[in-house]
Amino acid sequence: MSSAKIDPAQIERDLIDLNDGVLTVTGRLVDASNATLYAMCSVNRLGEDREFACIYKPIAGERPLWDFPDGSLANREYLTFLVSHWLELHLVPPTILRDGPYGTGMVQKWIDIDSNIDLMEFYQSEHPKLRLLALLDIITNNTDRKIGHLIPTEDGHLYGCDHGVTFHVDDKLRTVLWQWAGLPFTEAEKKLLLKARALFAESKREIISGLIEEDEISATIARIDRALIEESFLLPNPDWPAVPWPPF
């Protein structure tokens, strides 16, 4: 799996098209716990038609959770994309919040997985993109990083999806990516953590405060501070299940 080059201009075009396009729901992912709809996004720009697949998760279809505020999962998915985007990691497919056929929700570009990659082997590897995703999960406090949420592509990139249960005030990291637990951060990873802290504390706080609660922002900053002090990937929390169930 070679490394792919990401085109920021294409990401911006995708975001514009996701926002402006006409959504037509054509199916549903029945295994998802919340309403996860497969849709086509149709755009006519300068006389040229474009159509591409996307995932649409209306807030009205979110299943209530005991530990997350109702109707907040779409915001958390969008914020996870923004953090990845702002940090120039590009580990989350282009994602927006918008109105759709069933109300406001999260809309994310569909990414085809490389069917030649065995996910059961891939998730246990030490691929550098997986390591970056593990770092992003620390920042976002991802409580549901499953094997099936990994999307390695044919051009060598890696995306992660399903980020609705993130940014909780309590430490709830639950993931299948524990192969770096306890290992020291590289200097580049420390710089990413510092940049992430600045996003929540200063540069993007106004945007972030419109998506999650203030106590969740403060908890995220404190969590990043602890990671910087410890200078290493987190170890599993003995008071919280380390791996989501089912893991796939």
- Asked if residues 33 and 46 have their Cβ atoms less than 8 Å apart, the reply is no
What is the pLDDT at residue 3?
A: 57
- Asked if residues 160 and 92 have their Cβ atoms less than 8 Å apart, the reply is yes
What is the pLDDT at residue 239?
A: 85
Q: For residues 236 and 148, what is the distance between their CA atoms, to the nearest angstrom?
A: 20
Q: For residues 43 and 168, what is the distance between their CA atoms, to the nearest angstrom?
A: 36
DSSP secondary structure letter of residue 114 = -
- Asked if residues 56 and 100 have their Cβ atoms less than 8 Å apart, the reply is yes
Residue matched to tokens 């929700």: 105
Q: Which residues contact 209 (CB under 8 A, 6 or more apart)?
A: 217
What is the pLDDT at residue 240?
A: 85
- Domains of the chain, first to last: 8-230 (1.10.510)
Query: Along the 248 residues of the chain, how does pLDDT read in single tens digits?
Result: 445 678 889 999 999 999 999 999 999 988 888 899 999 999 988 778 899 999 999 999 999 999 999 999 999 999 999 999 999 999 999 999 999 999 999 999 999 999 999 999 999 999 999 999 999 999 999 999 999 999 999 999 999 999 999 999 999 999 999 999 999 999 999 999 999 999 999 999 999 999 999 999 999 999 999 999 999 999 998 888 999 999 99
| Angle made by CA atoms 13, 19, 24, in degrees to the nearest 5 | 110
Element (H, E) at 8: helix 8-20
Element (H, E) at 214: helix 214-230
What is the pLDDT at residue 10?
A: 93
Q: For residues 217 and 19, what is the distance between their CA atoms, to the nearest angstrom?
A: 26
Q: Which of 82, 102, 244 is CA-nearest to residue 165?
A: 244
Say whether the peptide bond before residue 246 is cis (omega within 30 degrees of 0): yes
Measured CA distances, 100 to 18, 97, 106, 166, 239 (Å)? 11, 9, 9, 23, 40
- Asked if residues 225 and 197 have their Cβ atoms less than 8 Å apart, the reply is yes
DSSP secondary structure letter of residue 165 = S
Q: Which residues contact 30 (CB under 8 A, 6 or more apart)?
A: none
Q: Give the amino acid at 248.
A: F
What is the pLDDT at residue 48?
A: 85
What is the pLDDT at residue 32?
A: 81
